[in-house]
Structures are given as structure tokens and as C-alpha cells.
Amino acid sequence: MSARGPDPASPGGRPPRSPRQSSARRGHASGAPPLASEPGPREHDDDQQDDDERDSLIDVPGGVRLQKVLAAAGVGSRRYCEELIGEGRVEVDGETVRRYGARVDPQHQVIRVDGLRIPSRQDLVYLALNKPAGVLTTMSDDRGRPTVGDLLGDRQERLYHVGRLDYETEGLMLLTNDGDLAHRLMHPKYGVLKTYLADVPGPVDRDLGRRLMTGIELEDGVASADKFRVVERAGSRALVEITLHEGRKHIVRRLLAAVGHPVSRLVRTSVGPVKLGNLKPGTSRVLTTTEVGELYAAVGL
């Protein structure tokens, strides 16, 4: 009897695997990602994966390949997105997906990378705007006054502003046509923090922060700050930073006036995880994929 085993041509025989096929199977079975030196996955090889290597996600008929959706959302290049999928860092509707060619519906399915939801719908817009003083928080004004809409130019989308800024208040505004996200960001239930810099008369008492965080009685109820600090003292003026999740009208100005420090200039510097940074007054920018994901996380979406 030959020591070579059954003849591949004989009944029940199987052709021997090549060393490359065997090593590839061992790599997948152990869950290890492909080596960087090896060629990346090819989309036309998707159907060659074994059944035991496939997840239970049902492909959406006419859907878009998952790595293409990730790349379009700004996660990274197509090749990088394939690596994320192979490493088990991508979820669709709560299920980890490891198939490079999985077809999904970016309009309706929730896709996450490293736990953060990505903005997969191409029709949704997420903007940060640095509103100058003397501009109305509205898209148009029948009296011809400058508006946020004037700063954004002609846009086809109907954008919601996330929280109003007073006519003379400056700083960060978020605008989006994602109604669910906008609603939650403005709802006090979710406690999204907003931070402001305020120019006030000094001197500032040492216990002012404690008083503000304990709560101050206003005409429409008690209001309180979540954080407070003095940034700078300059003669008879002081620059203070105040953070709160309240959304009542003129709340920062009313709160500081109630403790004897009326505001002469007010700038909002952050909304949740999004910072104003060095964005110039009157200009806007598109939020990053990470910023949108962090906003989703902040309101439980």
C-alpha cells in the first residue's frame, strides 16, 4: 500500500490543499487579521468564504457593500475599512460583521465602528458654525437683518439649529437636518453640556462657583451651573467659563446677572463633544465622523 494516502482521483478522495490555502484557513480559524504584507481582501472573492466564516447578518437586496459605506462616511480608505471589518470592529444593527462584501442599507441600518455610530446616510448634514454677534439665529428675516441662513449661503437641506444663541451672543452653533439627533441634543433629559466664556465685572468672589453650582433662584425657577471657573482677572473685569445643560432663554446671562456679574460679552465654546476651536467668525465646517458619533453617543442614539 502506498504511503501517499488515497488517490485524489479515487472515489471519496479530495485534492490536497496548497500550503497557501492551508495557512489562510488557519489564520481565519484563529480570528487573526491578515498580515499587513499579504494582499488585502478582494471584493470578488467574498462568495468564496466558507459558511462557518460568515456571520448571520442577512444581506440587504440591492444594498451597498459595507466597506464602501464606511469609506463614504469618512471612516478611512476602502482598504482601511476592510481591515476594520476583518478585525471585528464594525457592527451593523448590533451584530459584529466580518464579511468584507456584506451588503447593508445605509439609510435605515445603524452602523458602528469601535462602538461609535457613523453618519451613514449621505443625505444628512452636520455643520458647526461660529455665529458672530449681531446675527439672528434663524434662516431668514423679513426685516432684512443678518441671519444664520445668510452665513450658510444657499443650501438645499432644511437645517435645524441645535439651541438658539441670542442676537448678541457669539460662538458655536450646530446645524443639521437629522431631526432625531437635533431633538435629543436640545432636550434637557439628555443633559448635553454647553460651555461659555463670559466677560463680567470683577472682582469675582472665591465662593461664586459653589453658589452657581448649588443653584440660584430665578423668576422661572432654580438654575444651576455644572462647572465654573475664573479664566482671567484683568483690573475691574474678569473672564469666566461656565458650563451647564440648561436650555432656558438667556439662561447664562440671567444666571450671572443674578449673582451680581452682568455679562458684557458671551461666547459659546462647546456643545457636548464638539469644540469651537479656531473656526473663524461667520464661517462653518462639516463635523468629523468622530464628532457625529460622539454626539450620537451623548444622546443614546
Residues classed as catalytic? 166
Contact call for residues 160 and 177 (beta carbons, < 8 A): yes
State phi, psi for 248 to the nearest 5 degrees: -70, 155
Q: Rounded to the nearest 5 degrees, what angle is found at the Cα of 146, between the Cα atoms of 142 and 148?
A: 100
Other beta carbons within 10 angstroms of residue 157's beta carbon come to: 13
DSSP-assigned states of every residue in 5-69: -S-TTSTT--PPPPHHHHHHHHHHHTTPPPPTTSPPP-GGGGGGS-GGGS-SPPPPTT-EEHHHH
Through-space distance between the first and last CA atoms of the chain, rounded to whole angstroms: 67
d(CA 213, CA 253): 15
Contact of 92 with 84, CB cutoff 8 Å: no
Q: C-alpha cell of 45?
A: 472573492
- Asked if residues 227 and 213 have their Cβ atoms less than 8 Å apart, the reply is yes
Cα→Cα distances 126→16, 166, 170, 210, 252, Å: 55, 21, 19, 36, 25
CA distance 103 to 65: 4
